[in-house]
């Protein structure tokens, strides 16, 4: 009899977990997703963790290993440039000392993370050469290992891949009973292992089990533009100082974003004020942008914990239920590694969680 693994949530964590589990013919895997507010579908798509100033070593390990998994998964599933490409990242700084410090940091980090690739300082004119769209470039540091990913297409492709093997997908919201019973619109479903990869929605989902998860939602918005001019596949992502990121995808899609809006709960309304603000950010970099070129404003909900770190692993009193949440603003980067770790645990019953996350109990409290 095959083991039944059920995943709730088909964002990056759920999709990557399903992808890894699809290699195991002894499993039947089912995924449920409500399909609302998903961070993965509405993300900007920058994969470039190496120059982060964050001091959390576990987070850095996770982000570094997550970034390194992309080329592997993309190769194995034959995804094209419109989904993922290592076109490089340029981080700009006005102050020459800051630029130099960034350059040294990149070289230092490269010793442990060769995926950073080639590192170069660029003059403003050289930055413009690499990203011809820019009309107001600043000098910057280029790293060739930086990448952009279309999170929506990436997760979609992984789910399709897994569906051809052992995955069945259902749309709809699920809830849990007080003992972790899985309640769907078609009644209670049994499982051997349940994986709650529900991003910002972990807290409401766990409440019936009298567990309060340390997860709060944060609203993020970005704009997508379709420009009249086209550019090659190799245009890097720009991470400017104090401005929104500027992400030229293949052909003529440009993304500018994203916002970090606290205290908005699970609100998914597009705000025209924010849209104007994002457009103004883009305009500072490319003065030829036109508002009519905005094709979409995307809104997603990120999950944050009090210490801004993701957490994942089995529930303390129930090893058959795994949780993963709190991926924050770098979840496209850390998500693949989290999915891989969860899948390995399902298959082997073992995992070196401590290398990547504090114990799950640090992020859970008993409800009164």
User: 288: which 2 tokens?
Assistant: 């030829």
8 touches ligand FAD by CB under 6 A: yes
Does position 139 interact with ligand FAD (CB under 6 A)? The reply is no
Q: Does 50 bind ligand FAD (CB under 6 A)?
A: no
Does 36 bind ligand FAD (CB under 6 A)? Our answer is yes
Say how many residues make up the chain: 368
- Quote the CA–CA distance of 265 and 156 in Å, as a whole number: 26
305 binds ligand FAD (CB under 6 A): no
Sign of CA dihedral 128, 132, 134, 140: negative
Q: Sketch the per residue contact string, 147 through 166, with ligand FAD: x for CB under 6 A, - otherwise.
A: ----x---------------
Q: Is 44 in the site for ligand FAD (CB under 6 A)?
A: yes
Of the candidate residues 6, 30, 42, 86, the single one contacting ligand FAD (CB under 6 A): 42
Q: If binding is defined by CB under 6 A, does position 333 make contact with ligand FAD?
A: yes
Burial of 230 (0-12, 13-18, 19+ CB in 10 A): exposed
Q: Where are the alpha helices (DSSP H) in the chain?
A: 12-21, 57-77, 96-110, 124-130, 151-163, 202-206, 272-285, 331-348
In the complex with ligand FAD, the residue whose CB is nearer, 126 or 344, is: 344
Does 282 interact with ligand FAD (rule: CB under 6 A)?
no
CA-based radius of gyration for the chain: 21
In degrees rounded to 5, what are phi and psi of residue 304? -125, 145
Which lies closer to ligand FAD via its Cβ, residue 126 or residue 271?
Answer: 271
From CA 117, how far away is CA 23, in angstroms rounded?
Answer: 30
Interface positions, 218-277, toward ligand FAD (CB under 6 A): 220, 222, 257-258
Report the residue closest to ligand FAD, judged by CB: 331
Q: Which span (54-62, 74-82, 104-112, 331-339) binds ligand FAD, by CB under 6 A?
A: 331-339
Q: Is 43 a residue that touches ligand FAD (CB under 6 A)?
A: yes
Please, what is the minimum distance in Å from the beta carbon of residue 151 to ligand FAD?
A: 6
In order of 51, 154, 156, 222, 254, the CA distances from 150 in angstroms are: 21, 6, 10, 13, 12
Contacts with ligand FAD, residue ranges (CB under 6 A): 8-14, 32-40, 42-46, 151, 173-174, 197-199, 201, 205, 220, 222, 257-258, 300, 302, 327-333, 335
């Amino acid at each position: 009899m095959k083991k039944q693994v059920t995943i709730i949530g088909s964002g990056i964590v759920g999709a990557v977990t399903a992808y890894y589990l699809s290699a195991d013919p002894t499993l039947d895997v089912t995924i449920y997703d409500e399909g609302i507010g998903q961070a993965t579908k509405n993300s900007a798509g920058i994969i470039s963790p190496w120059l982060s100033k964050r001091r959390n070593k576990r987070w850095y390990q996770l982000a570094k290993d997550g970034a390194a998994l992309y080329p592997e998964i993309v190769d194995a599933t034959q995804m094209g440039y419109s989904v993922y490409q290592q076109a490089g990242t340029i981080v700009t700084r006005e102050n020459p000392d800051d630029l130099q410090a960034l350059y040294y940091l990149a070289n230092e980090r490269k010793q442990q993370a060769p995926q950073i690739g080639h590192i170069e300082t660029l003059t403003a004119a050289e930055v413009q050469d690499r990203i011809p769209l820019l009309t107001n470039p600043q000098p910057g540091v280029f790293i060739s290992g930086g990448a952009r990913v279309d999170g929506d297409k990436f997760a979609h492709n992984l789910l399709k891949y897994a569906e051809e093997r052992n995955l069945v997908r259902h749309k709809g919201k699920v809830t849990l009973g007080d003992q972790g019973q899985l309640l769907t619109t078609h009644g209670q479903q049994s499982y051997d292992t349940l994986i709650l990869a529900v991003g910002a929605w972990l807290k409401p989902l766990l409440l019936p089990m009298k567990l309060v998860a340390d997860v709060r939602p944060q609203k993020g918005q970005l704009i997508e533009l379709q420009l009249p001019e086209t550019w090659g596949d190799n245009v890097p992502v720009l991470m400017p100082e104090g401005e929104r990121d500027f992400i030229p995808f293949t052909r003529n899609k440009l993304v500018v974003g994203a916002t970090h809006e606290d205290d908005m709960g699970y609100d998914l309304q597009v705000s025209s004020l924010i849209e104007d603000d994002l457009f103004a950010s883009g305009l500072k970099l490319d003065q030829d942008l036109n508002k009519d070129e905005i094709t979409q404003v995307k809104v997603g909900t990120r999950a944050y914990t009090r210490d801004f770190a993701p957490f994942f692993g089995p529930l303390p009193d129930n090893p058959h239920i795994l949780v993963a949440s709190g991926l924050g603003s770098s979840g496209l980067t850390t998500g693949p590694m989290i999915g891989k770790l969860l899948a390995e645990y399902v298959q082997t019953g073992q995992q070196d969680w401590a290398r990547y996350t504090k114990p799950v109990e640090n992020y859970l409290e008993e409800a009164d």
